[in-house]
Structures are given as structure tokens and as C-alpha cells.
Amino acid sequence: MREINNIYFQEGNTVRVETPSFKQQAYQEYRYQTVSSVANRPLRNLPNREQRDKELKEERERQAKEMHRRQVAAMRRSRLMTVYMIVAVALACGLFVGYVSLQNEITTHMKSIAVMENQLSEVKADNKVAESRIATSTNLTDIKNSAINDLGMVYATSSQIVYYSMDADDYMSQYKDIP
């Protein structure tokens, strides 16, 4: 008499039973005979309910530990990414503040340069006015008359004029007054 060997398998959290086809039963019988002749025992002992519950519980615990490990790793990556983002935002803010302060300094310097240029143009205008006033107020003939009459100056005679000739590549050091 032939014995029907049911195949048990787990699908999700349910244990299913599959009755093998004729070919599968024939193959299992052949294999059972081959193995039983060697070991004289069945291919696989089917787990009882307690063993299956224990295996399921261990599998759930293993999955829970794996899930917890993944959550911890994700949290660590999340914290690290948050720190990176905070540093990046702080750096961007620092650069922005530095840029604004440099722009402010440049604007201040440009204003001070404009003020100084205005002052320079006013001083140059005052200088030109003073030069023209001096030029119009003094006459060369008045200076000549004042030098001759008031100070007693006279023109130099030809015997008082001394000429010196110098080479272009030479120099002269003067240690005393020229007579």
C-alpha cells in the first residue's frame, strides 16, 4: 500500500499543505526508499506546532532586531545629515553676512572718496583764485623798481659773470661759495 506524503510549506503566517501529484509521489517514494535504505529514516521530520511557533517567534524576533538595527542606522544617518545641513546653513549665513559687510565697507569708502574729491576740487579752485589774484596784484616792473630803488640792487656787469662748462656724464661737488 502506498503512503501519501503531504508537503507542508509556510506562506506568510500560514502553514499550507500540498498533496503531491502522482509523479511527485513516485519521486518521493523512490527517494524515500533510497534514503531509507541508507539511513532508515524519513527525509524530514515535520515540525510539531510548538516547534513551528518557536521558529516563527524566533524569526519575528530576528526581523524585529533587524528592523530596529535599520531604524537606528537610519536615525544615525538622519542626525548626521541634520548636522551637515545645519553646518551648511550656518556657513551660508556667515558668507552672506561677510558679503553684506564688505559691500557696506565699499559703499562707505566710495562715499568718503567722493567727499575727499569734492574737497580737492574746492582747494584747487581756491588755489587758482589765489594765483590769479597774486598775478594781477604784482607787476614785474613794480618788482624791478622796488628792487633797484628800495633795496639798492643793480644789474651784474660782465666782469661779475662767470661761466662754467660741464660734461654731461660728469658731476661737480661744491664745497664753498662761488666768488
Q: Establish if 10 belongs to a structural domain.
A: yes
Q: What are 69-92's pLDDT values in tens digits?
A: 999 988 888 888 898 999 999 999
The domain in which residue 32 lies consists of 1-46
**CB-CB contact of 25 with 4 (8 Å):** yes
Q: What is the mean pLDDT of the chain?
A: 81
Q: Establish if 122 belongs to a structural domain.
A: no
Length of the chain: 179
Q: Establish if 81 belongs to a structural domain.
A: no
Q: Establish if 42 belongs to a structural domain.
A: yes
Residue 19 is predicted with a pLDDT of 67
On the question of pLDDT at 66 being above 80, the answer is yes
Q: Establish if 1 belongs to a structural domain.
A: yes
Q: How far is CA 96 from CA 76, 101, 103, in A?
A: 30, 9, 11
Q: What percent of the chain has pLDDT over 70?
A: 74
Q: 3-state DSSP call for residue 9?
A: strand
**CB-CB contact of 28 with 5 (8 Å):** yes
Structural domain count, the chain: 1
Q: What are 5-56's pLDDT values in tens digits?
A: 666 767 777 777 766 666 666 666 666 565 445 445 545 566 688 888 888 8
Q: What φ, ψ does residue 164 adopt, rounded to 5°?
A: -120, 140
Q: What are 136-157's pLDDT values in tens digits?
A: 777 788 888 889 999 999 888 8
The whole-angstrom separation of Cα 88 and Cα 146 is 83
**Residue whose C-alpha cell reads 532508515 in the numeric block:** 40
On the question of pLDDT at 1 being above 60, the answer is no
**At 54, which amino acid appears?**
K
Q: Establish if 20 belongs to a structural domain.
A: yes
Q: Establish if 13 belongs to a structural domain.
A: yes
Q: Establish if 27 belongs to a structural domain.
A: yes
Q: How far is CA 94 from CA 61, 91, 102, 125, in A?
A: 49, 5, 12, 47
